[in-house]
Structure 1
Amino acid sequence: MSSVLYSLGRWAVRARRLVVAGCVVVLVLVGGAAGLLQQGLSNEVTIPGTESQEALDRLATTFPQVSGASAQVIVVAPEGESIEDEPMRSAITDGVEAIGDVSQVAAVTSPFDELMPASVSDDERATLLTIQLDGDQGSVTDATKDALGEEADALARALPDGAEAQLGGQLFSSELPEMTLTEGIGLLVALVVLVLTLGSLVGAGLPLLNALLSVGASMGLLFAATALGPINSTTPLLAVMLGLAVGIDYALFIVSRHREQLAKGLAVDESIARATGTAGSAVVFAGLTVMIALVGLGVAGIPFLTTMGVAAAVTVGITVLVSLTLLPALLGFAGERLRPKPSRRARRTAARTASAARAAATSSEATRPRALQPADGADTATTLPEQKPNRFFTGWIRAVTKIPALTVALVVVAMGALSYPALDLRLALPDAGVMAEDEPARVTYDLVSEHFGDGFNGPLIVTGSIVTSTDPVALMNEIGEEIDGMPGVADVPLSTPNETADTGIIQVIPEGGPTSAQTEDLVREIRAQHDHFLDEYGVDLSVTGFTAVGIDVSDQLGDALLPFALVVVGLSLILLTMVFRSIAVPIKATVGYLFSVGAAFGVVSLVFEHGVFAEALNVSRTGPVISFMPIVLMGILFGLAMDYQVFLVSRMREDYVHGGSAKHAITTGFQGSAKVVTAAAIIMIAVFVAFVPHGDMNLKPIALGLAVGVAVDAFIVRMIFVPAVLALLGEKAWYMPKWLDRLLPSFDVEGEGLARELSLRDWPEPGATDAVATGDLEVRGRSGLIVGPVSVRVPDGGTLLVRGDATAPVSAFLLAVAGRLKPSGGVAKTAGLVLPERASAVRHEVAVVDAAAEGGHPAEAVRRALRDKPRVLVVDATETVGDLTARAELAQAVAGAQHAGVAVLLGSTGSAATDLAPSGTPVLDVGPAARAERRSTELDHPANVTEQEVRA
């Protein structure tokens, strides 16, 4: 991974004009597609397979008058007057008639119509006109909504002074969210943090530009995708919020690594390539974890949530792609402007060092050869003193790890206390009651609650087939009367069959509001009586309506939360075990993630359920939060938590693996990464918090939860809990069973493989073009050493005979240099590629033929392998070719490979296959006997080994 990204970064720098031009073209194409294809966003929520949705689908066929979207107009007479008074009566009658003429309106109730009566308050001061529309909420056009608004305004003007008419209801219970200037505050905070962290306006601007371009491309694709199906209106804002946060952070990690390398004197192009290969590997890992978690939202089985997760995952994927291609190109344009300038103190120190060096050189000039003196006017390199660790973070890590058991205990208690309010968290689909108090739909909602009761804002529909009934009207009245007597029912204003008398509906007004626990209990109680109504009346009843759909969505999301959590936690353990090669570190990291999730849920509950700081955060009404908040928050926070875990703890692991003690590695690793992690966390928190004050009520709890979750995860879990646990465990923190280490693939997020590859760039000598080169190569099996140490060089087009006294050593060596078997020690390069880091690329350059598997006639297999034009050909088990004709054909095929410039390695057990290669071809002996012979030779020349090795 790191090697591929290194090459990608180097290419992006060299082709930076092409990369930028390509990005501009892509943005133009995506923007054009969005403009031509976009069909608008939807606020409709459907959930296939639930009782409410299936009943609603049936009503669309049997009783379309009540299955479509609906709206309400509440008319309130002046204090002390009644809707029956003549000025009120005539205005309402005319208004009902005008509303009925609006396109897509199927029916309008009226308080003066006996067939379709509208609800009237007990004091006859208010009436609630119900508007039934053709089709579902997504099919109602903006023109119809505007026309309804105009007619409602006309009705209000026609009413006498002191009266009012307000339009609202289900159709207007949610609004399309919009970006405001408030969200821009998060970007300003991010800019300030970036300037302070990177010390450069150019460097600070690049992460912002990276994020904005990524979000722009993502939004274009998202709006173009509306041509394929409905997309919830919350989806773009969620994608924007997440894209801005990760876009800035991912770019920050790469840019900060680039500047670190520039400060050490690395050339610009090389530094960009290395930053892309090292920090870019961590970015890929972090982005993949976020994407997997977001796509995992499909576990809930709810289409709109799956679409939301996929859209957000695509945004993150585009952000990663832009960070690995466009950002290196932009860094190339920035050039030397990003190289940190030494401080005055550093310059004075460097000047004194250079002066002392010149003085020493002058005093010895007479005795120094002239050739070693620098030419006149030549630049002399200045080595800056190593930067001292940040005192603040040094003090932080010492305080955290001084008494680690106490630190861990304090964190556990604090996280438990912060998570406790989450037990009160309730979920529901938001209605007009959560809108701003001056919104027309919210005004209608409040007026309905005031004059009719909360339940009129969320009526239920109980429906069933009555095709076998002989008296459908009487049947519906009986069922309606029984439901009316249930606890929690405020009224049953309507119990009627449809025109064909095959389906009946009962409108039930609950005592509680649409999102109240009382209404949820009522829905469950009516459903619990299903068998009773079936036995008593022969009717298979179902509960549906906008309120019931919301309850079913919440229930299904709640049921999916545990499986999703298990998937996320399981994924966390596996991925982190792959990265950190440890048992304790992944478990500790996963526990920390659960702390962050619990704290986020707890704070959201405190604000939205209990009203703590609700007014300051512009929360218009306390109560349940959006149903998909927990599962979305868990998915996104999982990926972000893995970001900080990787960027912080991987530095600690790197220092530990390179020979430091476990305790010292905690300190050095923390000092090396804490500054960047702190800046990244502050930026993310600022972006998320900016969506809280004036954000959409669907997004507001998610944004607040993410801000709290990131703050807790970065500053408490990763920077306090994690170091304390590592200090408490000591060396045991990095223990991993050998069998598990062999079983799990490795994910090099710190670019250790790239560092090794760069260090071996000029091995075995500068400009070498060996097809195969090994230095003390060893291959170990479960029973011990199979091959090694072996040092050999095979030039391009050369031939090597590999011989051993057993089959295993020969095959092991050949498979190792062919990239099919992982070496356990030493150095190996095949086709100029370092093993095992570039094993996948080596496998494309090396063809392997097992003569034993070819029935003793491998020549044709060799010729087939050569069609792919490999650089190296390996033929194993040549001793199994016993037929003289077959050996002659094989020798001819090998000669053809050599003629084509392919290096050939021939393996055999016993004697070397000298008849298959030209005379004088070198022979390499591998296996136990060869090792014993080499060991004897070394002991005959003690100067080649250390005293300890001789004694051993």
Structure 2
Amino acid sequence: MTRFLGRLGGWCARHGRIVLALWVIAAAGLLGGSLVLGSPVSTDMTIPGTSAQRAHDLMRSGFGPGYAPGGTVQLVLYSERGPLTDEPRKEAVERTIDRLGDMPHVVKVETPYRRGGIASNLRIGVITVRMEGHDHAKLAETTQALSKAADPARAAGLEVVPADSSTPADKEIKTGPSEIIGVTCALVVLVFAFGTLAAALVPIFTALVSVATGLGVIGLLGHVVDVPKQAGIMATMIGLGVGIDYALFLLSRHRGLLASGVSVGESVRRTVASSGGAVVFAGGTVIIALSALMLGGFPLLRTLGWITGISVVTAVLTSITLVPALLGLLGHRINALKVPFLGRRPEASGWAGLGAWVARRPWRVLLGSVLVLAALAAPALALKLGPLDDGYGTQGSDARRSYELMEVGFGPGINGPLAVVAELPSRVADTDEPAPIVERITREIEAVDGVAHVAPAQVNDSGRSVLVQVVPEYAPSDARAAEVVRDVRAISVPGVTLHVGGEVAALADASDRMAERTPLVIAVVVLLSALLLLLAFRAPVIAVKAALMNLISLGAAFGALALVFSIGLGSGLVGMDAPASASYLETLFFTVPIESYTPLILFAVLFGLSMDYEVFLLTAVRQAYQRHGDNSRAVAEGLGTTGRVITSAALIMVAVFVAFIAYPDPLVKTFGVGLAVAVAVDATIIRGFLVPATMVLLGRLNWWCPAWLDRLLPNLSVEGHDDDPAPAPPAKELVRT
């Protein structure tokens, strides 16, 4: 692979204009095509084989699309001046209902002046609009159009707020400001790292081309496969981070070789042959980790994993082709546009000194690192998983306002109603006398602890299914709501099969499926990543140790999530708004649940990203060890060679992830906090102290490999020593960039 990458890098450097033109055309064509043709996204939250999914299927087939998830839109009415039952306001509401009935795809409009449609204070009511034949992927646009049709009610002085009846997959996540902030911060870090504007712009340009290409591919794939809405934001976050980082590592190696007197063409060839191999393996670990989400148990995660991996593939491809093309075109002008007072060559490497310091006292460093990491991970014991309802939305948004109005008027459970669907036996349906058994089902549901209200049962035309709308006493994010779901499912009526649907039930099923599949996903990610490292370095001890180190960094990430969201220390700083009625203390410690599938996605992403830095550090240590065979010295030199580059790369990735915390969507905030903390801890405490200390203590065992295993493994030569016989430049030459 080293020779292949070297030849590829050399060819790209010699034909830079062709490579650059091809990438620009590909990025512009794919992204432009997705903009022109559209980027269809899927709101598929199906979880095959679950009770909630069966309930939703029966609702769709037995009662019409208007009763299925995404087939209903609610408009919440609030009258500040007087009761909704007063004649002028009632007439305005009725005119609104008539207008809604004339809207496309609307099959039924339920008036608020029905049983359960108006609050006891007579000031809050709900218009329920049922639709069929509309595009569920455009639920947000449909909701806004229906809200516009309610202008007669607004003219009468009523507040009309569309309720958010979408599933978590329906949430529209818009991009824009955070990407600009992240790229700007990355550019600042690169300028400080390289000292020249020309060098700093190469990783930025490469990453932007990579992300544009990846997003174009993902957008066009939406016409062929179901692409989750989260795929675009995930691809952008990860694509920007790894795209800039991979180019940074290559550029650092190249500038170091140029400083040692190597010609431009030879420097590019050696850079891609050695550091390019590390990039390929690092990208491979990220792709493996993301692909393991296919084992998560439901379509959203399965598709999200491999779709997001596209951004990593494009980042690797641009790094080993576009970067060498740009380096060949720029030549020695890579050092042009120098920034005053930056980029001066240091006389000694601080990271090399740190490596030597760690090598002299490995036991103390190991113990201190473990204690610090344990303290960072300790809050993870308080991690609170649960549904994230609209009560945690942005203050002043329609979703948050409608949630609060519904809660005041009808109780917290109205925001997470349950849909109980009973399948009746054929002997009952055929007699056309299902009334007794329907009444028993209703009584059994009413007797369940935590049930606040049970609507009149509806029997479908075939008489085979019964639909009962149930309002629990608890908000969707309350753990007790999931207990109500389990208690209703436990009801036993002879010959009747009960299924419970709704958002709370679906998320409870997703949580159970996650708990069931998480051990499998973790095992696959760890084993495959360790196997890839074994192929790269032919050292089983190194492979196993690297996997364990990555798991440690995950503990710190989950500890930070628990501290910010589950304990509430800092939730306000990341933009999570407490209710207006909350006390000062409740505002300071406003706790937010974390969606049950979030830890699994974070695990896959973080494990892959952490392995990136492990690969780059091990590559440098291995090269030093190949030269002189002194393990402790090799560890110190490897840390000195890569420390500043890894730190710069980590700062860039942290800046990108922190920028995404500004998104209003709580799920994106969760990812931003977790990813930023994990990368920061991984690049400092783990790669700067824990990994070097353990490698010094292990000594020659680091590179031990049984003879039989050595014969079986292919010689991939990721370090590039076979293709780069000349001694590597001194550590200080590389570190200065």
TM-score (norm 2): 0.90
Q: Distance between the aligned counterparts of 1:141 and 1:624, measured in 2?
A: 25
SS for the counterpart of 1:128 is strand
Alignment of 1:259-408 (within 5 A): 259-338=255-334, 388-390=347-349, 392-408=350-366
2:654 to 685, 688, 703: 685
Alignment of 1:734-753 (within 5 A): 734-753=703-722
Q: Distance between the aligned counterparts of 2:664 and 2:144, measured in 1?
A: 24
Deviation at residue 419 of structure 1 after TM alignment: 2.1
Tell me, which stretches of 5 or more residues in structure 2 are unaligned? 579-590, 728-737
Alignment of 1:717-736 (within 5 A): 717-736=686-705
Moved more, 440-449 or 175-184: 175-184
Q: Distance between the aligned counterparts of 1:586 and 1:136, measured in 2?
A: 52
Tell me the percent identity.
Answer: 36
Q: 1:742 to 1:22 in 2, by over 3 A?
A: same
SS for the counterpart of 2:150 is helix
Q: Distance between the aligned counterparts of 2:338 and 2:451, measured in 1?
A: 76
Q: For residues 476-508 of structure 1, give each alpha carbon's deviation from its aligned partner in whole angstroms, at most 9, with x where no partner exists.
A: 232112111111211112322123322101111
1:424 to 382, 388, 395: 382
Q: Which residue of 1 aligns with 2:31?
A: 31
SS for the counterpart of 1:690 is helix
Structure of larger gyration radius? 1
Q: Which residue of 1 aligns with 2:583?
A: none
Q: Which residue of 2 aligns with 1:616?
A: 573
Deviation at residue 520 of structure 1 after TM alignment: 1.0
Q: Which residue of 2 aligns with 1:784?
A: none
1:132 to 112, 130, 150: 130
Deviation at residue 103 of structure 1 after TM alignment: 1.5
Q: 1:610 to 1:702 in 2, by over 3 A?
A: same
Deviation at residue 141 of structure 1 after TM alignment: 5.8
**Alpha-carbon contact 2:93-2:153 (below 8 Å) kept:** yes
Matched, 1:649 2:618: yes
1:166 to 161, 165, 187: 161
SS for the counterpart of 2:457 is strand
Moved more, 514-523 or 727-736: 727-736
Q: Distance between the aligned counterparts of 2:404 and 2:339, measured in 1?
A: 63
SS for the counterpart of 2:149 is helix
Q: For residues 586-622 of structure 1, give each alpha carbon's deviation from its aligned partner in whole angstroms, at most 9, with x where no partner exists.
A: 3322221111111111211221222111111112364
Matched, 1:521 2:483: yes
Matched, 1:500 2:469: no
Q: Which residue of 1 aligns with 2:518?
A: 561
**Alpha-carbon contact 1:44-1:137 (below 8 Å) kept:** no
Q: Which residue of 1 aligns with 2:85?
A: 84
2:665 to 681, 696, 699: 696
Moved more, 497-506 or 313-322: 497-506
Deviation at residue 655 of structure 1 after TM alignment: 1.7
Q: Which residue of 2 aligns with 1:487?
A: 449
Q: Distance between the aligned counterparts of 1:710 and 1:439, measured in 2?
A: 32
Matched, 1:570 2:539: no
Q: Which residue of 1 aligns with 2:76?
A: 74
1:475 to 437, 445, 462: 437
Amino acid at match of 1:636: V
Q: Distance between the aligned counterparts of 2:388 and 2:319, measured in 1?
A: 36
SS for the counterpart of 2:463 is coil
Q: Which residue of 1 aligns with 2:153?
A: 155
Q: Which residue of 1 aligns with 2:549?
A: 592
Q: Distance between the aligned counterparts of 2:506 and 2:710, measured in 1?
A: 49
Q: Distance between the aligned counterparts of 2:452 and 2:259, measured in 1?
A: 73
Alignment of 1:486-885 (within 5 A): 486-529=448-491, 532-533=492-493, 535=494, 538-620=495-577, 622-756=591-725
Matched, 1:414 2:399: no
**Alpha-carbon contact 2:93-2:152 (below 8 Å) kept:** no
Q: For residues 200-251 of structure 1, give each alpha carbon's deviation from its aligned partner in whole angstroms, at most 9, with x where no partner exists.
A: 1111100000000011111111111111133222110110111110110000
SS for the counterpart of 1:179 is coil
RMSD of aligned alpha carbons: 2.6
Q: Distance between the aligned counterparts of 1:549 and 1:251, measured in 2?
A: 42
Deviation at residue 118 of structure 1 after TM alignment: 4.3
Q: 1:278 to 1:597 in 2, by over 3 A?
A: same
**Alpha-carbon contact 1:246-1:684 (below 8 Å) kept:** yes
Amino acid at match of 1:593: N
Q: Distance between the aligned counterparts of 1:545 and 1:214, measured in 2?
A: 39
Amino acid at match of 1:473: A
Amino acid at match of 1:441: A
Q: Distance between the aligned counterparts of 2:266 and 2:218, measured in 1?
A: 36
Q: Distance between the aligned counterparts of 1:344 and 1:311, measured in 2?
A: 43
Deviation at residue 642 of structure 1 after TM alignment: 1.3
**Alpha-carbon contact 1:633-1:705 (below 8 Å) kept:** yes
Q: 1:695 to 1:403 in 2, by over 3 A?
A: farther
Q: 1:603 to 1:566 in 2, by over 3 A?
A: same
Q: Distance between the aligned counterparts of 2:233 and 2:387, measured in 1?
A: 17
Deviation at residue 429 of structure 1 after TM alignment: 5.1
Matched, 1:216 2:221: no
Q: Which residue of 1 aligns with 2:98?
A: 97
Q: 1:603 to 1:494 in 2, by over 3 A?
A: farther
SS for the counterpart of 2:172 is coil
SS for the counterpart of 2:497 is coil
Amino acid at match of 1:338: I
Deviation at residue 462 of structure 1 after TM alignment: 0.7
Q: 1:432 to 1:40 in 2, by over 3 A?
A: farther
Q: Distance between the aligned counterparts of 2:397 and 2:107, measured in 1?
A: 26
SS for the counterpart of 1:289 is helix
Q: Which residue of 2 aligns with 1:456?
A: 414
Q: Which residue of 2 aligns with 1:121?
A: 119
Q: 1:39 to 1:280 in 2, by over 3 A?
A: closer
Structure 1 or 2: larger helix share?
Answer: 2
**Alpha-carbon contact 2:118-2:126 (below 8 Å) kept:** yes
Q: 1:468 to 1:674 in 2, by over 3 A?
A: same
Q: 1:654 to 1:99 in 2, by over 3 A?
A: same
SS for the counterpart of 1:478 is helix
Deviation at residue 140 of structure 1 after TM alignment: 5.2
- Runs of 4 or more, structure 1, over 6 Å off, are 340-345
Q: Which residue of 1 aligns with 2:400?
A: 442
Work out the number of aligned pairs and report it. Answer: 706
Q: Distance between the aligned counterparts of 2:399 and 2:279, measured in 1?
A: 44
Q: 1:105 to 1:171 in 2, by over 3 A?
A: farther
TM-score (norm 1): 0.71
**Alpha-carbon contact 1:169-1:457 (below 8 Å) kept:** no
**Alpha-carbon contact 1:389-1:671 (below 8 Å) kept:** no
Q: Which residue of 2 aligns with 1:237?
A: 233
Deviation at residue 29 of structure 1 after TM alignment: 2.8
Amino acid at match of 2:569: V
SS for the counterpart of 1:713 is helix
Q: 1:642 to 1:482 in 2, by over 3 A?
A: same
**Alpha-carbon contact 1:103-1:144 (below 8 Å) kept:** no
Q: 1:99 to 1:24 in 2, by over 3 A?
A: same
Q: Which residue of 1 aligns with 2:55?
A: 55
Q: For residues 927-950 of structure 1, give each alpha carbon's deviation from its aligned partner in whole angstroms, at most 9, with x where no partner exists.
A: xxxxxxxxxxxxxxxxxxxxxxxx
SS for the counterpart of 1:468 is helix
Q: Which residue of 1 aligns with 2:731?
A: none
Q: For residues 498-548 of structure 1, give each alpha carbon's deviation from its aligned partner in whole angstroms, at most 9, with x where no partner exists.
A: 23322101111111112321111111222233xx22x2xx21111112332
Tell me, which stretches of 5 or more residues in structure 1 are unaligned? 346-383, 760-952
Deviation at residue 307 of structure 1 after TM alignment: 1.9
Amino acid at match of 2:46: T
Deviation at residue 624 of structure 1 after TM alignment: 2.1
Q: Which residue of 2 aligns with 1:249?
A: 245
**Alpha-carbon contact 1:74-1:129 (below 8 Å) kept:** yes
